[in-house]
Structure 1
Amino acid sequence: MPLPPTFEVRLTEKRQLSPAVRELTFERQDGAPFAFEAGQWISLILPREDGEIRRSYSIASPPTTTSSFQLAITHVQGGPGSTYLHDLTPGSTLRAVGPQGFFTRPLDKTGPSLFVATGTGVTPLRSMMHAAKAAGHTLPMWLVFGVRHEDDILYRDEFEALAREHTNIRFEPTLSRGSEMWGGRRGYVQTHIPELWSELAGLGLGVPHTYICGLKRMVSTVRDLLRKELNATREQVHSERYD
């Protein structure tokens, strides 16, 4: 399958989401709508003195009819790609190619969904949840989001607001290194999967699907747990890893 053509994008806005993660908002230079499916990713082509490099990121924003999209990028110490992007100033332009990827959630799916993420793996799930909400979906969408510390919870205010305003949405952050003041869930995401999956499956609202995104070790652990211990079928488990 041929790659999509490259196009130019311009950075229009940046904001800090956590101590290490910045959200960058880009728009197509030609003003054309940026069409993609929730869950897909895009590659940015970064100019360097020793040659171009490409870095790929899941799209954090939901599909719209505009030319804009958002990415959440972790600054890796010594990482040439993330350092370049964190230092980028609004108005700067880059070449991009995309969208790409098959980690998507078709909007004609009617069953309840369990979303499982760690770190910036939450970004494609954020896109999926907003797309489903915009489409009028009312079946359960539960997000289990694992990070180390409380200030690492990306889009916390947004997810908490969604959960308050929509009875079908639950937001379950869990901290592996939470302080004594933290009153929410603790431990790795896989600790909470059996409870939440069983509760979701027991609602009688259709066959649940799980969407998992993060680093390989977490993704593999959660997949094995669902398939081998909770008897989820291959068709019910969808995943994408970053490493």
Structure 2
Amino acid sequence: MGLALFLSGCAKDHRKSLPYAAWSLDFFAPDYMEVWIETADVVDINEHVFRGAGSGIPALGYPRAQSKGVPAEFRGKPKGWRENPGGKGRYVTGADLPRLVYVRWQSMAEPQTYEAYIAIPESARNTMLQSEEAFCGAVGKWKTDYRKLLTVGLAPGGIAKVWLGGPCVKSTEVTRVQGTINPKGPYGGTSNGKHRPLSEESKAYIDNFGIPYGSW
């Protein structure tokens, strides 16, 4: 019902097409605060819906992908957000500028299942159309870049925070949303309330140091 209400809203007519092929929807989570994204859906300014624009495991600093067992030292720092966050995701091919992002995810650290409706401000959409000259370390030269990477951080407590960045430009904050608990639970209620399990390393960190609620 909530998504239907959002879909019924009026969208402003942006006559200018994207100056690039597509923008990317990316996700990450704080160190050790593992997440499983059940679905991420997008509504663009033309009211076109792109379901399944994101899913699965987001970017995560710690534990490393190759980590096994509990390390002698925990090097990750889950408290707060990184200065210039980046994520993992995919390009939303065929979409115009984003108006709304809906995401439902399992916060395995707690565990809990959340959902959030993230309204993208018009100011952010205008930023996505503006070019910027930036030095790109990847190619070792100055180039024209756009903020076409929409990055969402998902944290325990149902927090979703959004940044806009580009391959060569630093990310800027867009908005912060307090999600709500999904009443159906994990997997839409089809798993008898069972969430995906934490890795051994993340579980050990949380058992020792807890979850830094309030830092996100």
Range of TM-score over shorter length: under 0.3
Q: TM-score, normalised by structure 1?
A: 0.22
Bigger share in helix: 1
Q: Which has the higher strand share?
A: 2
Structure number with the bigger relative contact order (C-alpha 8 A, sep ≥ 6) is 2
